[in-house]
Amino acid sequence: MSDKYHDTIAASKVTEDDAKVKAEVERIIAENYDKYNNPEVWKFLFNTIDLTTLKSTDSPQSVAAFTERVNEFEEAHPELPNVAAICVYPNFAQIVRSVLEVSDVDIACVSGGFPSSQTFPEVKTVETALAVSDGADEIDIVLNVGNFLDGDYEAVCDEIAEIKESCRGAKFKVILETGALKTAEKIKAASILSMYSGADFLKTSTGKEYPGASLEAMYIMAQCVKEYKETTGNIVGLKAAGGVATTEDAVKYYCLIKEVLGDEWLTNEYFRLGASRLANHLLSDILGKETKFF
């Protein structure tokens, strides 16, 4: 098939060989993990966290208390950087906005029928617009995986572009749900389509129905982001989410970003970790004692 979607994917030189990806990831980690597993990197990684609560039991009261802990962290540990963002369901954006007192922590909202992306396109755009109107600085949506796997790339890209427009300047993250895509070939194609449709960030996973982030998926996404920068001059960020729970996990993702993309991506403007458990693990290692602040 020849159309602008397939032609753009076909023009990419990013590998589709799963065995090669696995071997390259293993090499990068083996050669660099010990070098980067240190307190300075841990502090940087803490500052890339999208501190997340996405539970059925979330309520205005619980989300307000969750947000207040981020305020309290600023007071308790002024020597440390805070998290990058608080990530909540879109109906809680206004709660976080009213409680959050830390100026350098953003408000991120999942949107667009999260986590399945199974609802009317009109609902996705309106939900996103409402979240931004209520104070969201960042929007995380899920690629329409069903349409993607059917090969309807036009529908996938049109929907991403429409939701991007409803973001009205908010940072726009597209979740590929790499655990459902599985192969390097599909993750590569989804990455390319998302970037050319307006994604400011590529994110691995929802952490809900399918396996979460994997180093192999992040490696492919990073290679696509690198090629996209070389082709267009535009920088797209990367976020690993779903199962990134320990300091060891986080350092491994740091290794990939550092070695594939370099220092330009080593800022929370372009690199994030979506997590609910990771913050306490990193804090414990940074402070040298078990800590359960969040």
**Residues labelled catalytic:** 140, 203, 239
Tally of residues, the chain: 294
Tokens linked to 62: 């619980």
Let me know: does 183 contact 209? Beta carbons within 8 Å: no
Report CA torsion sign: 209, 87, 257, 73: negative
Kindly report each contact of residues 259-263 with a partner whose C-beta sits within 8 Å and lies 24 or more positions away, as own/partner: 259/28, 259/32, 260/28, 260/219, 260/222, 260/223, 260/226, 261/222, 261/225, 261/226
Report CA torsion sign: 278, 281, 287, 291: positive
Helices 18-36 and 215-232, axial angle in degrees (round to 10): 90
Give the N- to C-terminal CA distance of the chain in Å, as an integer: 50
Q: Residue 240 forms beta bridges with which residues?
A: 273
Listed in sequence order, the residues at least 6 apart from 39 whose beta carbon sits closer than 8 Å to its beta carbon are 285, 286
3-state helix, strand, coil in the chain (%, to 5): 55, 15, 35
Q: Residue 237 forms beta bridges with which residues?
A: 201
The residue type at 47: N
Let me know: does 71 contact 102? Beta carbons within 8 Å: yes
